Amino acid sequence: MGTEQAAAANGFSYTLTRTLNAPATAVWQAWTTPGQYAQWAGAVDGSVEMDVRPGGPWKATMVTPDGSQFPLTGSYLTVDENRCLVVGMDAPGRPEPTAMTLELTEENGPRTTIVLRQTCDTAEERDMSEQGSTMLLDSLTTFLTPRTAS
């Protein structure tokens, strides 16, 4: 409990939880395969590079809803296949990367619960990151939802 209070006192955190009708392996592959990630995350085709191992670099050029492009870079801090991915994101003017933690828990069905956490430096940064992460999870949900004839 003490660490959570310290983290809250030193930063602005958010936690998002989403349950998908997909096995953890499918969620993991969507998040760690460049071609799949580009499809659902709004990245420029061919801009995603991933070396999914602790310390391995990644980069992607994202496209915003208004069509602007911005490059993102970082490295993987923790890689526990189909369970936990901690992604470090380089932030301009910051010596340390911002870490985003993605935890996967597979349930029966197969269903997977995703818990995404991030701590930011300011309330504004947290709000922007939380909005972006919510959009990512919405897109991932759509990407992994089986298309059924209605």
Cα(94)–Cα(56) distance, rounded to whole angstroms?
19
Query: Which residue's entry shows tokens 């269903």?
Result: 111
Residue 5 has pLDDT above 70, yes or no: no
pLDDT for 43-70, tens place per residue? Answer: 998 999 999 999 999 999 998 888 899 8
| Tokens 């602790």 belong to residue | 54
Instruction: Parse the chain into domains and list their residue ranges.
Output: 28-138
Query: How far does CA 75 lie from the centroid of its chain?
Result: 12
Which is the CATH superfamily of the domain at 28-138?
START domain (3.30.530.20)
3-state helix, strand, coil in the chain (%, to 5): 30, 40, 30
Contact 91, 80 (CB under 8 A): no
Q: Report the relative pairing of strands 111-120 and 98-107 from DSSP bridges.
A: antiparallel
pTM recorded for the entire structure: 0.86
pLDDT tens per residue, range 70-86: 899 999 999 999 999 99
Residue % of the chain over a pLDDT of 90 = 70
Evaluate if residue 150 carries a pLDDT over 80. no
- Are the CB atoms for 112 and 106 separated by under 8 Å? yes
